[in-house]
Amino acid sequence: MQFQFLRELPDPLEQFLYFLIVLAGLGIAFFVIGEAIPRRVYRYDKPPFTCFQWEKGGAVYTKLGIQKWKNHMPDITRVLKIMVGKRIDSPRDPDHLERLILELCNGEFIHAVQVLSGPVFLLFLDRPYGIAAAILFSVGNIPFVLIQRYNRPRVAALRERLLRSARAKNPGGDSP
């Protein structure tokens, strides 16, 4: 993909504009893909979404100080209100928490695929710029994967506590 009018610009500026075009294209494509995936395909209690032993239920991310920086990261759900927000709006509603957990699975999956798709930049940018863009794009998505892996076990544990509490209050009846 080459735009003739960009060829007249200084090389770094031309490459930066190509970077922005590819970035926007990938952003739109991954958004559409992420929204199209039915949430029922995710099993948060099965690999790869369950915690690995070394994650210690998300505690390893606490040691990385994730709770200090995670809320300062960009979040598309703050802009697009049609999406399920990543905040716990209804902490006493197990159904809402399950929807949130599935959204966290989707977010992790999409960001993990983005990590792996960094080399796409090599197809559109000249070599040194493409390598830098691929690395930046891939590494830039890693914190978002970590945030999902940190939040999901905590939300799942809260949901499980609510379900246990509801069963204890109503031992023979319907549980939420």
pLDDT in tens, the chain (176 residues): 566 667 777 888 999 999 999 999 999 999 999 999 999 999 999 999 999 999 988 889 999 999 999 988 887 776 766 666 666 666 688 998 999 999 999 999 999 999 999 999 999 999 999 999 999 999 999 999 999 999 999 999 999 999 999 888 877 666 55
Distance between CA atoms of residues 98 and 72, nearest Å:
24
pLDDT value at position 69? 92
* Structure-token match 């090389």, residue found: 11
pTM: 0.85
pLDDT value at position 28? 94
Q: Does residue 2 belong to any structural domain of this protein? A: no
Q: Does residue 136 belong to any structural domain of this protein? A: yes
Q: Does residue 154 belong to any structural domain of this protein? A: yes
Residue-number span of the structural domain to which 58 is assigned: 12-164
Q: What's 41-62 look like in SS3?
A: HCCCCCCCCCCCHHHHHHHHHH
Neighbours of 101 (CB within 10 A): 24
Q: Does residue 5 belong to any structural domain of this protein? A: no
Question: What tokens does 40 get?
Answer: 């029922």
Total structural domains within the chain:
1
Q: Does residue 33 belong to any structural domain of this protein? A: yes
pLDDT value at position 138? 97
Neighbouring residues of 66: CB distance < 8 A, sequence distance ≥ 6: 146, 147, 150
pLDDT value at position 60? 93
Q: Does residue 6 belong to any structural domain of this protein? A: no
Q: Does residue 91 belong to any structural domain of this protein? A: yes
Q: Does residue 50 belong to any structural domain of this protein? A: yes
pLDDT value at position 133? 97
pLDDT value at position 78? 65
